[in-house]
Structure 1
């Protein structure tokens, strides 16, 4: 028997070597961790066969809509702000009305005091007052006025003419009174402070009441605008007393104590006014 009886044949030996080599190589392999999937929102893809990179637009995730409770709270807050604004407007309107009443009352008191002084006027006092107003009227003619102011300027000139006539008739109290009324109208349209007050959408009270007559039939309005309620209808030559004005409207009082507004173009002066208030 040969001494090589226990050695495997050549084919078996080769298979054993290959198995041993495979086990050794398998132990040397390093396992790489699996890559996470790429998000579609930020992926840059390269289509096969091209060198260009295609960018996929990011699709925004819609925000969660506000709840009904939040909307109700916002609506309630807006309603509260509106209520506060309405209350503020009402308070301002009430203050404006109070101020107008105070001005009208003050104007009436000043008018009564002026009338008392005018009844005791002497010739020099009347002459001085007429000369003073003549200068103011002449200066006003050199200025430019709106249509409503031009109407008051025309009335002022007519009152000045009436004052001159009364002076010539030696009626010095009437001369003083008409001259003062003329000066009041001129001051109302030339005094910057008073004109600024009128521009604030508030009536300007006359410090001296102005006697007038209607030149045509016209309605007495509750407010200084054509859409306001008509208090009554006035006939031509109705005697009135103007206490304030706003734009081209005059606030007047009738002989039977009705108060309202008429347009300044519908009146003329009442030069023979003799009923001075005590």
Structure 2
């Protein structure tokens, strides 16, 4: 009886330690989620500003292209934004399963080591891989790495069509999956404006730079959405884990109380029996 009570109390202490770790992870996920949601408005506004500038710049050329790359030829690719780490429930698996629906000829570009590992397990190695940002300050650098790699591949004619696949959360709710085209990039037009903007560089060079910046802005927005979704999934997972830990602790506490009562009862019975034998 004593040995069993010791085991239950040791198990309870272990679960309490696990609960403390879970609480820390839940707090970090909640903090990072709020940071990402607060930053998303800025990334979206930035993309809209660049789109407006690009539309105005297109007025400067009679033969301005309607998309970039102009020919749209080359191989297709899917850029998968996946979690960098685990403890996100089935979120990473859902992303990978959707990515695997891409045809065999479509190259999988993966952002996030967790997604790359899951693809390897399923027998489809990424054509390109980089780490996913683990805080909001690192999202810009992550988007820039992706943009630079895409620019090189598109300029070499190796890529013509690119899609993005990432998670999106609405105010911290469990994330949904989003799949949207990136390249060929349809260049926005501003048909309502009649006065061309003042510029200090050749129009084609200006448009080329704005296209680069617009692609980067769209990638930064997708990366921030993905970062928010990852932490929303992790927060949900940690909240579920906390609920299960509390239920387990309640069960272990009840078991320990029952064992202590049995131990006290047995000791009393032994004392009474001993007294009767002596009497």
TM-score (ref. length: structure 1): 0.30
Structure with the higher helix share, 1 or 2: 2
Q: Greater RCO between the two (CA within 8 Å, min separation 6)?
A: 2
